[in-house]
């Protein structure tokens, strides 16, 4: 999905049936016109094909053999897996994914040129297959933006999965030896999630610095450890109130503040880097 500002269009679909969920849609998405007369759309949760009736979906599901996204599994832990999918090779799946995600993204316009993109799909495993929780896309030849679009499927939101997706995008950048930042504009929810991730990641670096007995760390060093750009680091330091400018730059971070925040961060879902088997595509 590209980042051009999107002209607002009236929401065309009210609800999707997706796996075990009925989900109210948020925004317009350009599904074929014949779907506009039907307020509900039925989507196969594995291949993302869409249907106008439950009967059609059932008939499809009885024949659909796909149980996971059509790409390489590059990460697996006890609960979740990530699959890497090339927009050039799996164009139907990726188009279906973009149509689905557009229902929850207002400020991005759909591009039908998926060739330049890779898609990272996060799934939950059970005995029935790999159920998609969320995804992000990324341009293959990016200069700065290590993430183009991000979505957590609404029933899974506010459970820490967005943080995992963001964290995963930075882990890939670290392996690439590059720094990165999400494509702008960010939605309100996107900004809140990034601000929180940047804040927590920077606090952890400051804590580690203190633990090894160092008195100071530079912005460039924080960037090198996290792959978060210098400007996102500075933005976070000022926005969170850690840094203030009062004639000179002052740091306002007490040990008690650090302890409280790190205690809450330690309970959050994390990417275990040992489970990531990936090298940058050539």
Q: Which residues are catalytic?
A: 183
- Binding partner of residue 196 among Zn ion, ligand ACO, none, CB cut-off 5 to 8 Å per kind: ligand ACO
Q: Where does residue 267 rank: exposed (0-12), middle (13-18), buried (19+ CB within 10 A)?
A: exposed
Supply the minimum distance, in Å, between the C-beta of residue 47 and Zn ion. Answer: 3
CA 74 to chain centre: 16
Closest to Zn ion by CB, 61 or 74: 61
- Site residues (CB under 6 A) for ligand ACO, limited to 133-162: 147, 149-152, 157-162
- Binding partner of residue 40 among Zn ion, ligand ACO, none, CB cut-off 5 to 8 Å per kind: none
Residue 47 binds Zn ion (CB under 5 A): yes
Cα–Cα distance measured from residue 226 to residue 209, given in angstroms and rounded to the nearest whole number = 13
E strands, 97-227, where? 117-126, 129-139, 145-147, 149-152, 181-182
Span near Zn ion by CB under 5 A; candidates 13-21, 44-52, 105-113, 213-221:
44-52
Cα–Cα distance measured from residue 76 to residue 78, given in angstroms and rounded to the nearest whole number = 7
CA 201 to chain centre: 16
Residue 261 binds ligand ACO (CB under 6 A): no
Question: Which of 69, 71, 87, 182 is the binder for ligand ACO (CB under 6 A)?
Answer: 182
Residue 163 binds ligand ACO (CB under 6 A): yes
Q: Give the dihedral sign, CA 163/164/169/170.
A: positive
- Binding partner of residue 47 among Zn ion, ligand ACO, none, CB cut-off 5 to 8 Å per kind: Zn ion
- Binding partner of residue 44 among Zn ion, ligand ACO, none, CB cut-off 5 to 8 Å per kind: Zn ion
CB 44 within 8 A of CB 64: yes
Size of the site for Zn ion (CB under 5 A): 4
Phi and psi (nearest 5°) for 96? Answer: -60, -40
Supply the minimum distance, in Å, between the C-beta of residue 236 and ligand ACO. Answer: 13
Question: Which of 3, 23, 64, 186 is the binder for Zn ion (CB under 5 A)?
Answer: 64
Question: Which of 192, 244, 250, 257 is the binder for ligand ACO (CB under 6 A)?
Answer: 192
Closest-by-Cβ residue to ligand ACO is: 162
Question: Which of 187, 209, 229, 275 is the binder for ligand ACO (CB under 6 A)?
Answer: 187
**Distance (Å) of CA 20 to CA 16, 23, 43, 128:** 11, 10, 11, 12
Task: Fill in the per-residue mask, 234 to 253: x = in contact with Zn ion (CB under 5 A), - = not in contact.
Answer: --------------------
Closest CA to 198 of 221, 223, 218: 223
Residue 133's contacts (CB-CB under 8 Å, 6 or more residues apart) are 80, 122, 123, 124, 152, 153, 156, 161
Cα–Cα distance measured from residue 100 to residue 11, given in angstroms and rounded to the nearest whole number = 13
Task: Fill in the per-residue mask, 78 to 117: x = in contact with ligand ACO (CB under 6 A), - = not in contact.
Answer: --------------------------xx------------
Interface ranges with Zn ion (CB under 5 A)? 44, 46-47, 64
């Amino acid at each position: 999905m590209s980042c051009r500002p999107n002209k607002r269009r009236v929401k065309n679909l009210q609800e999707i049936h997706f796996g075990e969920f009925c989900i109210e849609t948020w925004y317009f998405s350009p599904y074929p016109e014949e779907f506009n007369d039907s307020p509900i759309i039925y989507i196969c949760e594995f291949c993302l094909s869409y249907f106008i009736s439950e009967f059609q979906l059932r008939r499809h599901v009885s024949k659909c053999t796909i149980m996971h996204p059509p790409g390489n599994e590059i990460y697996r832990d006890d609960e979740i897996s990530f699959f890497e999918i090339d927009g050039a090779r799996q164009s139907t799946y990726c188009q279906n994914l973009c149509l689905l995600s557009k229902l929850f993204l207002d400020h991005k316009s759909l591009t039908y040129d998926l060739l330049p993109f890779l898609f990272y799909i996060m799934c939950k495993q059970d005995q029935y297959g790999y159920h998609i929780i969320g995804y992000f896309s990324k341009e293959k030849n990016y200069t700065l933006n290590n993430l183009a679009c991000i979505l957590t499927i609404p029933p899974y939101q506010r459970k820490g999965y967005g943080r995992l997706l963001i964290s995963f995008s930075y882990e890939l950048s670290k392996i690439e030896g590059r720094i990165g930042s999400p494509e702008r504009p960010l939605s309100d929810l996107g900004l809140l999630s990034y601000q929180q991730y940047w804040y927590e990641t920077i606090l952890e670096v400051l804590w580690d610095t203190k633990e090894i007995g160092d008195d100071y760390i530079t912005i460039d060093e924080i960037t090198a450890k996290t792959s978060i750009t210098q400007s996102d680091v500075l933005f976070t330091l000022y926005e969170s109130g850690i840094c203030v400018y009062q004639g000179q730059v002052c740091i306002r971070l007490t040990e008690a503040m650090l302890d409280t925040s790190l205690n809450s961060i330690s309970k959050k879902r994390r990417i275990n880097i040992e489970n990531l088997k990936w090298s940058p595509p050539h």
